[in-house]
């Protein structure tokens, strides 16, 4: 049981670290604009492991033993109210603080609209339904084939669109990538957990693969500009490596502290963009110092906001309290 508790502490700690990495991504200038220093896509590329980790960790604790209506109802019942509430918040926020004009349309129900980071919530809900339903009905291998085909379609419409000389503009493709990560999570949770040092080496190797892949994409597409795509093939081992590191972290004071912050990691993820927009207007984005200051202040304020909501029991009412999630993870046996 101690080993399971240690794994949960590490995963909860990494959830918070991942939320901070997402803040870094969104605080950096757009990575496909000309004239940006090369460190921007390099830093962004490493941070791309955060969202795959979130999805893989969700899959690692996914109950898959039974088929039934709860496979569909449970994740949607939890995530839909959160998504609708936060979409409403951002709509009102942008009306009062119009840093980005928002004219909602039907597609925003999936993409998040101007609150673009919220795409994660419907993508996670759909992925949990697809993977849990697939494992309970058609089995592991058939589900794996389905999610791999979905991911291949996503990459062909995203990072590899220009390489394959397909019409249209590259998209994010997270909705079609998410089921693969959740399915991978159900697989890696069954296997042995390597030492933390091995997981760190895996992260370094995966990051090196990503840099090579992004460089190759630049060469084959003829764009001549290094960018950081939301998802590429090497994002898969990078996300797995993040999970393996989280699951193997020793129980230290730092890990315990970060795991407590992990209880508000979803709130930090959801609320950080509003905080970031305000701070970017106040601090600016012209220099590396301003960017770092914005990242730091956004992290502190979003985390403080999360703990304030937790103390007021607002997170529990909204289903965002990570304490109950940690308890359920600790009692899970994937």
Give the pLDDT confidence of 139-159 residue by residue, as tens digits: 999 999 999 999 999 999 888
Residue 170 contacts residue 159 (beta carbons within 8 Å): yes
pTM listed for this prediction: 0.89
pLDDT tens-digit readout, 164-218: 777 767 777 788 999 999 999 999 988 888 899 999 999 999 999 999 999 998 8
User: Would you place residue 57 in the very low, low, confident or very high pLDDT band (cuts 50, 70, 90)?
Assistant: very high
> What is the Cβ-side half-sphere exposure of residue 7, based on CA atoms within 13 angstroms?
22
Domain boundaries, the chain: 10-249
User: Would you place residue 287 in the very low, low, confident or very high pLDDT band (cuts 50, 70, 90)?
Assistant: confident
Residue 177 contacts residue 8 (beta carbons within 8 Å): no
Query: How far apart are the C-alpha atoms of 320 and 262, rounded to whole Å?
Result: 11
Beta strands (DSSP E) in the chain are: none
* 263-288 burial: b if 16+ Cβ within 10 Å, else e: bbbbbbbbbbbbbbbbbbeebeeeee
Contacts of 157 (CB under 8 A, 6+ apart): 166, 168, 170, 171, 173, 176
pLDDT above 70 coverage of the chain, percent: 87
Closest CA to 313 of 325, 305, 321: 321
């Amino acid at each position: 049981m101690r080993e399971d508790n240690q794994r949960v502490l590490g995963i909860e700690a990494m959830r918070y670290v991942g939320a901070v990495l997402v803040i870094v991504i969104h605080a950096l200038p757009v990575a496909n604009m000309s004239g940006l220093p090369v460190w921007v896509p390099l830093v962004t590329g490493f941070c791309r492991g955060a969202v795959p980790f979130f999805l893989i960790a969700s899959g690692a604790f996914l109950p898959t033993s039974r088929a039934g209506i709860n496979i569909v109802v449970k994740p949607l019942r939890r995530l839909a109210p959160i998504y609708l509430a936060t979409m409403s918040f951002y709509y009102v926020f942008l009306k009062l603080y119009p840093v980005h004009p928002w004219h909602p349309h039907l597609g925003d129900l999936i993409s998040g609209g101007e609150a673009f980071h919220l795409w994660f919530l419907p993508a996670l809900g759909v992925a949990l339904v697809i993977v849990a339903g697939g494992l309970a009905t058609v089995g592991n291998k058939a589900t794996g084939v389905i999610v791999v085909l979905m991911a291949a379609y996503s990459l062909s419409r995203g990072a590899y669109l220009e390489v394959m000389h397909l019409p249209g503009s590259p998209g994010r493709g997270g909705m079609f990538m998410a089921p693969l990560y959740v399915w991978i999570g159900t697989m890696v949770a069954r296997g042995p957990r390597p030492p933390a040092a091995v997981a760190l080496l895996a992260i370094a190797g995966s990051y090196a693969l990503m840099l090579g892949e992004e460089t190759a994409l630049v060469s084959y597409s003829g764009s001549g500009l290094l960018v950081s795509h939301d998802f590429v093939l090497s994002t898969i081992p990078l996300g797995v490596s993040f999970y393996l590191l989280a699951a193997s972290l020793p129980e230290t004071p730092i890990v315990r502290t970060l795991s407590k912050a992990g209880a508000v990691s979803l709130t930090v993820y959801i609320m950080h963009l509003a905080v970031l927009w305000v701070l970017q207007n106040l601090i600016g984005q012209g220099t590396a110092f301003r960017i770092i200051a914005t990242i730091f202040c956004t992290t502190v304020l979003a985390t403080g906001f999360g703990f304030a909501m937790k103390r007021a029991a607002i997170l529990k009412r909204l289903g965002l309290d990570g304490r109950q999630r940690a308890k359920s993870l600790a009692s899970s046996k994937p």
